[in-house]
Structure 1
Amino acid sequence: MDFLKVFTGAFVAFVQLFPYAVGASSWGYFGSDGPSHWSDVSATCGMSSQSPINIVSIDTIMSSMDAFTLSKFDTTTGLSLNMVNNGHTAQLNIDGAAVKVSGGGLTADYNTAQLHFHWGKTDAEGSEHTVDGTRFPMEMHIVNYRATYTSVSDAAGHSDGLAVLGFFFEIGNTSHPGIQKIVDVLSSITDAGTNTTVTPFMLNELLPSSLDNFYRYSGSLTTPNCNEVVTWSVFPQSIKITSSQMAVFRTLQSVEQNDDGNHNMYNNYRPVQAMGSRKLYANFNPNAGARPSVHLSLSLLALLSCILSRMF
């Protein structure tokens, strides 16, 4: 009986650490396990309010949503951080210190549970969301669950359960000091299913300098079971990262074999999904100061040419 208890406890701990170990081949990002087959894993993945999306600037509806309030993002007191390679991404689990988000048009407080990343094989791809068709080399998701629920898994069963903050990365020439704190521990979680304790640091070190502007829409988790329970906030101000920092993410090992025949983790992003009848909001004007399109400029030039030809 004691042996059974020990075995059961060890198995539960293993599943909690590596949630994709059981049935790990049922979904992935390549081949017959790729995103086009996810609806076979979960019918929800084929529904009409899925994420990510292509954010089309001219389709946004202006909204007066207020700024976000991030609680305990500026402290390490009572904070516990653990970095996990769960076989599909690098995930930083966040515990303690009452870390939470509110405001930003949300109707309640949301506890911060974890953040994770999606990246590409090259610096030309990797983000899940796109903006006017432009894809970024990496995207970070900060996952928060409504405080009235007990956990992310509990909240995933409720339509108002999750609020996810999405941030884009762009290649720059200077190493980002906040992201470097993530990069520094990736070598400790190279293999799928491994984890390491991270020396606490202030979470706002990972964020862009301003959180004033953001897009908002209703969508889903971007991995199976694709629950349509997410209030998405995607921030246009990017975070800079160097090519060498990006390269370290690609050294992580995935549970699945990629198209190159190895297990290097990359292209762990879902293609954009149809917007359908959903509305896209923004608390700023993304088209302010936009230049006329090339087609419009050529049309004006042709009209001016026609007028001049008739005058002379």
Structure 2
Amino acid sequence: MQRHLIVQIFLPSFLKICTGADWCYQSQHTCATPCNGPEKWYHANKDCEGRAQSPINIVHRKTLPDERLTPFQFRKYQDSFRGLIKNNGHSVQVNVPHQPYVIGGDLETPYKVVQFHLHWGKNGGPGSEHTIDGEQYPMELHIVHMNEEYSKLEDALKDPIGVAVLGFFYEESLSANRKYDPVVRALQTIMTTGANTTLVSVSLEQLIPPQQNLTNYYRYKGSLTTPGCTESVIWTVFEKPIPLSRDQVEQLVNPTSCWPVV
């Protein structure tokens, strides 16, 4: 059982997309509408010049085992729900209408789920936001939680430890992960910015590895990975990846240039 506290944080590696908003990812140059790329995100929000920005490259040899980082307990993660899934022009986000939560993991109080979203690369190529020893995975899942004392995410973001995000990598597998079929089908219908649909009968438990495989993880204090870049996030990045077949990864990618990709 290994859980690691990250003791050195590197400058973030920024990712993604095409949008008409006032900020965008590095691939914006493929779109006609100009906007502020990662190197100018501070124009969108001054907090993006902070010194604890996410994502980071996690260098394993520079981490330390930490006995305070106990295994998480995932409550109500097994409950199925219907949630709105939306292409917001920067990512694909699913709002979670009920309140699963996590405890443990050196979190002082329970943190309840607000939403989850995905990040991926072009044509199944590298697309994770975090990297391990410089290795970038095809995709990354972020499950966003806020301290149970808050009812709004914007209020939780004002607290230095108000938000906890669980990050999971994806890896290519030989067989399809059928638990992801509802997500893959839904994404095929929301390929344009602003499009949304209902994700039916899914649970958070089915989207992540079994709990017994989630005892190894990395922990650091960081930020939101997009403007406002608020440095109020307790990050947990799990070592065990989520398997998806090559075909499933490819189905998640829209061939048009303005789908959220690296």
Q: Following superposition of structure 1 onto structure 2, how do residues 1-312 of structure 1 map, counting pairs within 5 Å?
A: 24-29=20-25, 30-31=28-29, 32-64=35-67, 65-76=69-80, 79-96=81-98, 98-209=99-210, 210-251=213-254, 262-267=257-262
In the aligned structure 1, how far is the partner of 2:179 from the partner of 2:220?
28
**8 Å Cα contact 1:81/1:94 also seen in 2:** yes
Deviation for aligned residue 1:75 = 1.8
Identity value in percent: 37
Deviation for aligned residue 1:188 = 2.1
Residues 252 and 164 of structure 1, relative CA distance in 2, 3 Å threshold: farther
**8 Å Cα contact 1:122/1:137 also seen in 2:** no
**8 Å Cα contact 1:252/1:265 also seen in 2:** no
1:95 is paired with a residue whose SS is coil
Deviation for aligned residue 1:180 = 2.1
1:224 is paired with a residue whose SS is coil
TM-score by length of 2: 0.85
1:79-132 Cα deviation digits (max 9, x unpaired): 341111111111111012x31111111011111011101111143310000000
Deviation for aligned residue 1:178 = 2.1
Point out the structure with max Rg over C-alpha: 1
In the aligned structure 2, how far is the partner of 1:90 from the partner of 1:252?
16
Deviation for aligned residue 1:24 = 4.6
Residues 125 and 110 of structure 1, relative CA distance in 2, 3 Å threshold: same
**8 Å Cα contact 1:93/1:113 also seen in 2:** yes
**8 Å Cα contact 1:174/1:242 also seen in 2:** yes
**8 Å Cα contact 2:41/2:48 also seen in 1:** yes
1:244-267 Cα deviation digits (max 9, x unpaired): 2112222186xxxxxxxx323311
2:243 is paired with a residue whose SS is strand
In the aligned structure 2, how far is the partner of 1:73 from the partner of 1:176?
18
**8 Å Cα contact 1:127/1:137 also seen in 2:** yes
Deviation for aligned residue 1:161 = 1.0
TM-score by length of 1: 0.72
In the aligned structure 2, how far is the partner of 1:220 from the partner of 1:180?
31
Residues 190 and 124 of structure 1, relative CA distance in 2, 3 Å threshold: closer
Deviation for aligned residue 1:173 = 1.3
Structure that is richer in strand per residue: 2
Structure 1 range deviating more: 136-145 or 24-33 = 24-33
One-letter code of the match for 2:239? P
**8 Å Cα contact 2:86/2:93 also seen in 1:** yes
Structure 2 residue runs of 5 or longer lacking an equivalent are: 1-18, 30-34
- Give the total of aligned pairs: 234
**8 Å Cα contact 2:182/2:200 also seen in 1:** no
In the aligned structure 1, how far is the partner of 2:189 from the partner of 2:154?
27
2:146 is paired with a residue whose SS is strand
Structure 1 residue runs of 5 or longer lacking an equivalent are: 1-22, 254-261, 268-312
**8 Å Cα contact 1:249/1:265 also seen in 2:** no
1:44 is paired with a residue whose SS is helix
One-letter code of the match for 1:68? F
One-letter code of the match for 1:72? K
**8 Å Cα contact 2:82/2:202 also seen in 1:** no
1:267-293 Cα deviation digits (max 9, x unpaired): 1xxxxxxxxxxxxxxxxxxxxxxxxxx
**8 Å Cα contact 1:124/1:135 also seen in 2:** no
Q: CA RMSD in A?
A: 1.6
In the aligned structure 2, how far is the partner of 1:108 from the partner of 1:176?
33
**8 Å Cα contact 2:192/2:259 also seen in 1:** no
In the aligned structure 2, how far is the partner of 1:179 from the partner of 1:43?
37
